[in-house]
């Protein structure tokens, strides 16, 4: 069971962090350089419309497996860096919820109405929050891999 939980945890992290990296550093810059807002924003809204449900599943897998893994030794006995990972993960999940439930809806509404300034502002905020979450995700991976050595 432990190995399955670790697999689910890592698979979720790969989907989420890898997807944020791809969207932020590969897709968005090329789309911004090559497409004007009436083409770029529907493309990005469509891509995010496929990516965000996968992220929602990944978040559930990450938080659920992380919680289950922490329950094995018990919260009091779990290593300190596991607690830090959980705290950062919860913050990342909250930021994702804001992106998905608020800014993504604004992006889609702006695209549907061909209101490019509204859609562009929502996409810019999504970009900023994704960049921040990508930084938190990278920090979490550092804590996961180096935390035991730093706490000792």
Give per-residue pLDDT as tens, 87-102.
999 999 999 999 999 9
Q: What is the pLDDT of residue 62?
A: 98
What is the C-alpha to C-alpha distance for residues 142 and 129, in angstroms, rounded to an integer? 20
Count of domains observed in the chain: 1
Would you say the C-alpha torsion 34, 43, 139, 2 has a positive or negative sign?
Answer: negative
Q: What is the pLDDT of residue 3?
A: 96
Q: List, for the chain, all residue ranges whose pLDDT scores fall below the cut of 70.
A: 150-152
What is the C-alpha to C-alpha distance for residues 65 and 126, in angstroms, rounded to an integer? 27
For residue 131, give its domain range.
2-151
pTM attached to this predicted model: 0.93
């Amino acid at each position: 069971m432990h190995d399955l939980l670790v697999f689910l945890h890592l698979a979720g992290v790969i989907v989420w962090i890898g997807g944020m990296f791809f969207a932020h550093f590969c897709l968005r810059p090329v789309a911004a350089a090559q497409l004007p807002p009436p083409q770029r924003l529907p493309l990005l809204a469509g891509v995010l419309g496929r990516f965000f449900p996968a992220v929602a599943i990944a978040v559930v897998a990450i938080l659920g497996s992380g919680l289950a893994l922490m329950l094995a030794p018990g919260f009091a006995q779990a290593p300190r860096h596991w607690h830090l990972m959980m705290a950062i993960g919860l913050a990342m999940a909250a930021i994702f919820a804001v992106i998905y439930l608020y800014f993504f809806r604004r992006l889609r509404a702006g695209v549907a109405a061909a209101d490019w300034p509204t859609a562009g502002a929502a996409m810019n905020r999504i970009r900023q929050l994704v960049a921040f979450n990508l930084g938190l995700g990278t920090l979490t991976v550092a804590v996961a891999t180096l935390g035991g050595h730093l706490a000792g």
